[in-house]
Chains A and B, each alone.
Chain A
Amino acid sequence: MAKYLGKRIFYIILTLFIVTTITFFLMKLMPGTPLTNQAKLTPTQIHQIYKQYGLDKPVWQQYLVYLGGVIHGNFGTSFQFSNQPVSYLISSRLGPSLIIGGQGMVLGVLAGLIVGAVGAIKANTWVDTSATIISILFISIPSFVLAVLLQYYLGLKLRLFPIADWGGFMYTVLPTLALAASPLAETARFMRTEMVDVLSSDYIELAKAKGLNKVGIIYHHALRNSLIPVVTIIGPLAVNIMTGSMVVENIFSIPGIGEQFVKSILTNDYPTIMGLTIVYSAMLCVVLLITDIVYGLIDPRIRINK
């Protein structure tokens, strides 16, 4: 286990190193400079600013400086936000993103498991059809459309929840719902397929031959065997949530990293974009690592072989 963990962490560091390197040099290729958006500056002023940011040094030196900073959690200084350190910008905004992202993930996966399992148990009936329709709709309707509709109908018209801003649980409800849609649909789809497969397997047949009733078969044999593989899609779902959060946070004006990312893109705030790219990759790596470990813990076939 320790050996496996060590290997995995080594690969994560390697991946992040590659991501950092690629991002850095891509940013150096950027057409616009951080000053494009500023008012006209004299060449001396520009030179001064370049010096301040270390942009007058050769690229490889800048790279080493940046890399050294990243190791210490220093992603440089934001171009746009009154010279705030990027690391501060990110850490102060991580909380809201993690809250709505986490809530969306938990809600989506749990609801998806139920929808998928019910669909499989009642396979090829109207219940199954409805479950399929739900997942197709939630997979197909883009998060930004869903978010706007939720905001308008549940927030503005019915006044059930605040339409935007940040300040307590009620503010998280609508964004959470908007984010949960995609994991719900994906989980339901996956769970249904898995469970239909499991339900037609030989060991379920043997369980029937033992005289287990339908509830017993599902509870004791079918659920566990179809739940285990669901862990493998948590990683891709996390990606969906990250993607979704960029627009959802924007629509609901949530001070999270998704909103920051879009803002930085639109203002050419390269240090922040780079910092967030690395943070997103790191989060994804950690999620993938955790799901792999969990998968190994709950599947006896993998557990023993390790």
Chain B
Amino acid sequence: MENDKDVLEVRNLKINFNTYAGTVKAIRDVSFDLRKGETLAIVGESGSGKTVTTRSIMGLNSPNAVIDSGTIMFKGQDLLKKSRKQMDQIRGRDIAEIFQDPMTSLDPTMKIGKQIAEPLIIHKGMKREKAYAQALEMMKLVGIENAEQRINNYPHQFSGGMRQRIVIAIALVNYPEILIADEPTTALDVTIQAQILDLMKELQAKTNTSIIFITHDLGVVAGMADRVAVMYAGKIVEYGTVDEIFYNPKHPYTWGLLNSMPTMDTSGTELPSIPGTPPDLLDPPVGDAFAARNKYALKIDTEKQPPFFKVSDTHYAATWLLDPRAPKVTPPAPIIERQKHYAELVHEELNKSKGNHVEEQEEQL
């Protein structure tokens, strides 16, 4: 998997938190790559470790977080070994982040022009006028009307959606290699959500930035991501292209996630949900962390953690169900539907040469 196109390689990351109750093993051996210009979605419930992972890429984990092991390679250098000063130089220039709540993530007492220009002044040593001119450009780019006047406004004079556009402008003003978007639309109205997602896609096309998109909302992922990593209890349990995860999921947890997402076909009474709650990471289970909530659990799930089984070159899943010795299980009906659909897709794809299937699927979703 390692190739020149990777901008970020995370390997065997383990992070613990020291709390009064003991050591919480928040990230338990996570590895993934981020390629140039792609969008990688990290999906999971709250507490699954999505945010902790990205915080450590930014070097912004809370003081009681301890990096147990692992490397985060960016441009041939391990970010985990960088000093705070070196990280200050990378943050906002090479790697930028958008936060969840635009209502609180802008400084209430600073004009937004200055807030957007700040990264330019810090990292490029730009003079005020030049930085403001560029900030103005950026404001136009993210779709803020009357940018010339509004550059001197304060955050409270903007709506939530507009503020998130400003946050995006701040993040992208230096054209970073990597943009981390931590649930950037969760706090917004549904209609605004779509606008922000469109804006991000549009800007990504222009800037060729790689995006790590964190969300618990699979619906957002489908339209946004190229690849998807599903996290559960501090581990990645399945990863693959967006098609593979949506139409040929292998891990029972991914099945659960997909089943609990409403689609156009959803009919009838109730949206299924995954029973139970994630395990406590103070004392994580020896075996598969999902076993307790998994109705397909095998005996071995309680004894050993499953390794990654290869499904395709791009698709891996960590579940014992993929072991050759495991009994054949029948996934829930909707998943079978999805798999059938996937088979058709692959078939079509074989027939057409390499088509732009991503767009096609969007229409079908």
Interface residues of A (CB under 8 A from B): 201-203, 205-213, 216, 220-221, 224-225, 228, 299-301, 304
Once the chains bind, are A210 and B118 in contact (CB under 8 Å)? yes
Once the chains bind, are B92 and A201 in contact (CB under 8 Å)? no
Once the chains bind, are A203 and B106 in contact (CB under 8 Å)? yes
How many residues of chain B get a CB closer than 8 Å to chain A's CBs?
30
Once the chains bind, are B92 and A209 in contact (CB under 8 Å)? yes
Interface residues of B (CB under 8 A from A): 58, 60, 85, 88-93, 96-97, 99, 101, 104-110, 118-119, 122-123, 154, 156-157, 167, 170-171
Once the chains bind, are A304 and B99 in contact (CB under 8 Å)? no
A152-B215 Cα distance, complex, nearest whole Å: 67
Residues of A within 8 A of B58 (CB): 208-209
Picked from B96, B101, B119, B123, the residue with its CB within 8 Å of the CB of A202 is: B101
Picked from A210, A228, A304, the residue with its CB within 8 Å of the CB of B170 is: A210
Once the chains bind, are B108 and A205 in contact (CB under 8 Å)? no
Residues of A within 8 A of B108 (CB): 203, 225, 300-301
With contacts A207-B118, A209-B97, A210-B122 known, what are 16 further pairs, Cβ within 8 A? A202-B104, A203-B108, A205-B60, A206-B107, A206-B170, A208-B91, A209-B60, A210-B91, A210-B92, A211-B88, A211-B90, A211-B92, A300-B156, A301-B109, A304-B154, A304-B157
**A23: shortest Cβ distance to chain B, in Å?**
41
Residues of A within 8 A of B106 (CB): 203, 206
A20-B287 Cα distance, complex, nearest whole Å: 79
Picked from A220, A225, A304, the residue with its CB within 8 Å of the CB of B118 is: A220
29 contacts between A and B (CB under 8 A): A201-B104, A202-B104, A203-B104, A203-B107, A205-B60, A205-B99, A205-B105, A206-B107, A206-B170, A207-B107, A208-B60, A208-B91, A209-B99, A209-B171, A210-B91, A211-B88, A211-B89, A211-B93, A211-B122, A211-B123, A212-B118, A213-B85, A213-B88, A216-B122, A221-B110, A300-B109, A300-B154, A301-B108, A304-B156
Once the chains bind, are A203 and B105 in contact (CB under 8 Å)? yes
**A118: shortest Cβ distance to chain B, in Å?**
18
**A218: shortest Cβ distance to chain B, in Å?**
13
Once the chains bind, are B85 and A225 in contact (CB under 8 Å)? no
Interface SS, A side: helix
A216-B157 Cα distance, complex, nearest whole Å: 25
Residues of A within 8 A of B93 (CB): 211
Picked from B101, B119, B156, the residue with its CB within 8 Å of the CB of A210 is: B119
**A212: shortest Cβ distance to chain B, in Å?**
6
Residues of B within 8 A of A220 (CB): 110, 118
**B125: shortest Cβ distance to chain A, in Å?**
13
Once the chains bind, are B91 and A211 in contact (CB under 8 Å)? yes
A228-B123 Cα distance, complex, nearest whole Å: 29
A44-B60 Cα distance, complex, nearest whole Å: 87
**A199: shortest Cβ distance to chain B, in Å?**
12
A304-B157 Cα distance, complex, nearest whole Å: 9
A201-B108 Cα distance, complex, nearest whole Å: 11
Given contacts A202-B104, A205-B105, A212-B118, contact A301 B92 (CB under 8 A): no
Once the chains bind, are A206 and B105 in contact (CB under 8 Å)? yes
Please name the residue on chain A nearest to B157 by beta carbon. A304
Given contacts A205-B99, A216-B122, A304-B157, contact A221 B92 (CB under 8 A): no
Please name the residue on chain A nearest to B94 by beta carbon. A211
A134-B118 Cα distance, complex, nearest whole Å: 36
Please name the residue on chain B nearest to A300 by beta carbon. B154
A207-B91 Cα distance, complex, nearest whole Å: 10
Once the chains bind, are A209 and B157 in contact (CB under 8 Å)? no
Residues of A within 8 A of B123 (CB): 211
Residues of B within 8 A of A224 (CB): 109-110
Residues of B within 8 A of A212 (CB): 88, 92, 118, 122
